[in-house]
Amino acid sequence: MQKQKIGIVGLGLMGGSLAIALKEISDDFYFVGLDHNEAHCKEALSLGLVDEIVSTLDELSSCDVIFLAVPVNSIIAIIQSFPPLLDRCTVIDLGGTKERISQAIPKEIRHHFVTAHPMTGTEKFGPSAAIANLYKEKVVVLCDIQESGTHQQKVAKELFSHMGMKLVYMDAKEHDRHAAFISHMPHTISYALANSVMEQEDKENILALAGGGFKDMSRIAKSSPNMWEDIFKQNKHNVLEGIHAFQAELKKCEKMIANEEWEALNQWMQDANGLHHIL
């Protein structure tokens, strides 16, 4: 039986972990990797994440499935320069924004594409950051699924389901607004927190006093600036709305502390505790 050929563009955390997850599903996959970073290519091969490295999109045209695990601006550039694809080919992008990506796909090849956002990740990047179970029991949002071909829908749903993911369906525009509040805006806060502390404290004090709370909140500030710059560009208006909403809540907190409105502050914090009944 011929192995199913899986192309992965981008051999970092998301692409590498995807290969690990798919290898656990079946031995019937053959992985072809493409990455502009030569060191990443060599590392992915040495780690056994892929079976072969290619240097052009044309060399991926014989793949049954192609995953795009690169920053969102790169996804748009790639999908607009795709070579002719086999009828059975399914292309799945894993970008953190969806509306502009969905709109950028040429109409003649739109049915090949499934626009997806796995709600998972870590602050690390590169092939060595790839881990088992990154995708397991996480949510993957499939956007504008009605625009994808019947075969492509089936392939994407089966692959993500077999990896143990929970499938959620959304309109791309709706996704980007929700993602701004739940994923994108928290990254802006983490970067801001890290910078504000570094401007006030020296390294010795940070090392001596930083406990679990600070480490938890600042952890995602270690994420790739290049990747997040692209996301903030593509989802600018929604991210700004999230930042403004956060600033309004922070102002409330500031005012209550300044005016010693301790009962009101306590109630405000109790209201926030309600989030954990949802999560």
What b/e string do you get for 216-238 counting C-beta neighbours within 10 Å, with b at 16 or more? eebebbebbeebbebbbebbeeb
Looking at residue 207, what is its pLDDT? 67
Looking at residue 82, what is its pLDDT? 87
Q: Where in the chain is the domain with CATH 3.40.50.720?
A: 4-170
CATH of domain 4-170: 3.40.50.720
Higher model confidence: residue 1 or residue 3? 3
Confidence of residue 150 (pLDDT cuts 50, 70, 90): very high
Q: Give 115's contacts (C-beta < 8 A, 6+ positions apart).
A: 92, 93, 95, 98, 101, 102, 105, 142, 143, 144, 172
User: In this model, does residue 190 exceed pLDDT 80?
Assistant: yes
pTM of the model as a whole: 0.87
User: In this model, does residue 1 exceed pLDDT 70?
Assistant: no
Looking at residue 215, what is its pLDDT? 81
Token digits of residue 36: 């502009």
Q: Does domain 175-278 have CATH number 3.40.50.11810?
A: no
User: For 240-249, how does the pLDDT look when each residue is reduced to its tens digit (9 = 90+)?
Assistant: 999 999 999 9
Q: Where in the chain is the domain with CATH 1.10.3660.10?
A: 175-278
- If you write DSSP's letter for every residue of 29-73 in order, what string do you get? EEEEEE-S-HHHHHHHHHTTS-SEE-SSGGGGTT-SEEEE-S-HH
Average pLDDT of the residues of the chain:
92
User: For 32-77, how does the pLDDT look when each residue is reduced to its tens digit (9 = 90+)?
Assistant: 999 999 999 999 999 999 999 999 999 998 999 999 999 999 999 9
Cross-strand pairs, 92: 67, 114
The percentage of the chain sitting over the pLDDT mark of 70, rounded to a whole number, equals 99
Looking at residue 224, what is its pLDDT? 83
